[in-house]
């Protein structure tokens, strides 16, 4: 029986990639009680563990199934945003690709005021959580919770693509993009999949192994109404289970890890956000922080379909091969990720049109978009989805970078290594590339940046993830990224949880020492 009044040292909102790591690490201190609140249910559905089952989870109860506002840059289409609503969050329904991002991404964070977040400083946290067989131990961890492997589906591996990329001038094939070299080479994608060929999510890696701890309470189907703030101090959380409202109080801290779309929503419902917007929603303003919900960034993908001599069959994964490149629009970090699939992935067969010829698929993915959007409240009702406007392809340079990626793909397909595959372009074909991009591009479900870390006027949290102007409240998830990483974001979210836990424990150890010595 739930009590309507409870006290915990730490309350974590959201059991996604970051939240599961936090729950594991903070509850390792037997003297600290931890409450983990998850709006979704348990991760027992067999399609979660099945590495080919993720597509069948989209649009189900394990998915928030959110929609954007109509996007002018995408011919006014409203884009579906699949986001995990289940233990493990999106790490339980994603395609399991493990990409840390580029070293330059984290160095840029540091330059923008996030001290302590340079690549050199975050690398140890990546290594601590990983169990990767092979690779340079200077860059990879062994014995951590997350099982990692190079593309475990042999059907998805394409030596032809790797060699063709090299022939097109992209250095050596078979490179480790999470290692020392991260740009202008092709390699096999790495995946968070365990030795039994099952999904390794935040829940399976970090939560289930410690669920027995007496000081850890995990509540599912618990949707947060608001964070309770008294005198600019976070003191607790109101949440709802089965239409009953409960209150939990935090002795030490509340940590918000609900993701880049839900975390700003919860802050605004709690009176923390842009004053004018909160006034419009008739929400009492606790802290006027204009940056809450702003700076929304997301990766954008567009497919290219080629006829081939023979397509791969019975593949369980979405893809297996990757190339990270810098277009002429950047000198900073790779702004384009190219994935290659030598056939139609079995999970996607029900979703794709039937092709009369064998095909292979390229994805051109914009991983450093210049366009910025925002998340706003649709109402003051906690149960209503937020208004999400990513502003996709608002900046012309985003379309131009994707168009250059299309030409890079076309060049790769002309290389000798592809001769045996006898490829010819089907889509976009003769359609003008810029038109095709606006008509057919979509999200790859990596929203970030809406509670950004930094020191400028638009920042929401400081370098220790503490919400500006509010004590005992932190945000730890993809929303804190000042700039989105160049690649799939889940690996960075795991790292954020690991680093956040270390900072929280360090800060409270200092507080305890001050108290003892006073």
Give the burial string for 316-327 (b: 16+ CB within 10 Å, else e).
bbbbbbbbbbbb
Please name every residue paired with 247 in a beta bridge, in sequence order, or none if there are none: 5, 238
Confirm whether 446 is a catalytic residue: yes
Q: How many CB atoms lie within 10 A of CB 195?
A: 11
What lies within 8 Å, CB to CB, of 427 at 6+ separation is 303, 304, 305, 436
Is 254 annotated among the ligand-binding residues? no
C-alpha to C-alpha distance for 45 and 43, rounded to whole angstroms: 6
What lies within 8 Å, CB to CB, of 369 at 6+ separation is 297, 298, 299, 300, 392, 395, 398, 484
Please name every residue paired with 10 in a beta bridge, in sequence order, or none if there are none: 34, 253
Is 460 annotated among the ligand-binding residues? no
Nearest to 394 by CA among 489, 479, 296, 304: 296
Nearest to 243 by CA among 85, 382, 83: 382
Nearest to 68 by CA among 83, 76, 77, 79: 79
Tokens representing 427 are: 């889509």
C-alpha to C-alpha distance for 83 and 70, rounded to whole angstroms: 18
Given 45, 394, 446, 508, which residue is catalytic?
446
Tokens representing 405 are: 């990626």
Is 445 annotated among the ligand-binding residues? yes
Give the burial string for 44-67 (b: 16+ CB within 10 Å, else e).
ebebbbbbbbbbbbbeeebbbebe
Specify the 3-state DSSP secondary structure of 412: helix
Is 224 annotated among the ligand-binding residues? yes
Tokens representing 90 are: 């999106």
Q: Is it true that the peptide bond before 471 is cis, omega within 30 degrees of 0? A: no
Locate the DSSP E strands across 38-128: 66-67, 80-81
Angle at 139 between CA 327 and CA 196, to 5 degrees: 100
- Residue ranges of the binding site for FAD: 86, 224, 445-446
Where in the sequence numbering do the catalytic residues fall? Answer: 446
User: Which residues sit in the known binding site?
Assistant: 86, 224, 445-446
């Amino acid at each position: 029986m739930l009590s309507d009044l409870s006290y915990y040292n730490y309350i974590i909102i959201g059991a996604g990639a970051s939240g599961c790591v936090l729950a594991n690490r903070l509850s390792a201190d037997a003297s600290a009680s931890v409450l983990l609140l998850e709006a979704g249910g348990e991760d027992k559905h067999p399609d979660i563990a099945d590495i080919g089952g993720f597509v069948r989870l989209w649009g189900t109860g394990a998915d928030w199934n959110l929609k954007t506002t109509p996007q002018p840059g995408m011919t006014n289409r409203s884009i579906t945003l699949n986001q995990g609503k289940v233990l493990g969050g999106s790490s339980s329904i994603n395609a399991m690709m493990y990409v840390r991002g580029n070293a330059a991404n984290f160095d840029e964070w540091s330059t923008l005021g996030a001290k302590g977040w340079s690549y050199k400083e975050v690398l140890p946290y990546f290594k601590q959580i990983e169990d990767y067989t092979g690779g340079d131990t200077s860059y990879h961890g062994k014995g951590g919770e997350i099982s990692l492997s190079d593309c475990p589906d042999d059907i998805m591996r394409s030596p032809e693509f790797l060699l063709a990329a090299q022939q097109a001038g992209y250095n050596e094939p078979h490179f480790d993009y999470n290692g020392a070299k991260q740009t202008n080479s092709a390699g096999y994608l790495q995946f968070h999949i365990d030795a039994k060929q099952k999904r390794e999510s935040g829940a399976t890696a970090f939560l289930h192994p410690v669920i027995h701890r007496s000081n850890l309470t995990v509540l599912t189907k618990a949707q947060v109404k608001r964070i309770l703030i008294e005198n600019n101090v976070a003191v607790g959380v109101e949440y709802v289970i089965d239409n009953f409202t409960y209150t939990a109080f935090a002795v030490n801290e509340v940590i918000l890890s609900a993701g880049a779309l839900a975390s700003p929503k919860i802050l605004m419902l709690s009176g923390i956000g842009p004053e004018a917007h909160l006034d419009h929603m008739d929400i009492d303003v606790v802290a006027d922080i204009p940056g809450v919900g702003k700076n929304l960034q997301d990766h954008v993908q567009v497919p290219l379909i080629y006829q081939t001599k023979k397509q791969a069959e019975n593949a369980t994964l979405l893809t297996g091969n990757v190339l990270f490149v810098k277009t002429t629009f950047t000198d900073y970090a790779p702004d384009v990720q190219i994935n290659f699939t030598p056939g139609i992935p079995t999970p996607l067969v029900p979703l794709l049109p039937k092709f009369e010829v064998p095909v292979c698929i390229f994805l051109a993915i914009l991983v450093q978009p210049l366009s910025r959007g925002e998340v706003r409240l649709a109402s003051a009702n906690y149960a209503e989805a937020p208004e999400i406007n990513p502003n996709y392809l608002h900046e012309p340079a985003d379309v131009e970078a994707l168009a250059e990626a299309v030409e890079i793909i076309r060049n790769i397909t002309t290389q000798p290594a592809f001769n045996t595959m006898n490829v010819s372009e089907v889509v976009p074909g003769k359609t003008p590339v810029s038109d095709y991009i606006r008509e057919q591009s979509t999200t790859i479900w990596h929203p970030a940046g809406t509670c950004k870390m930094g020191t400028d006027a638009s920042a929401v949290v400081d370098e220790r993830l503490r919400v500006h102007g509010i004590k005992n409240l932190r945000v730890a998830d993809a929303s804190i990224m000042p700039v989105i990483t160049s690649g799939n974001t889940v690996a960075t979210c795991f790292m954020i949880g690991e680093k956040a836990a270390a900072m929280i424990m360090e800060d409270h150890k200092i507080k305890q020492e001050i108290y003892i010595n006073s």
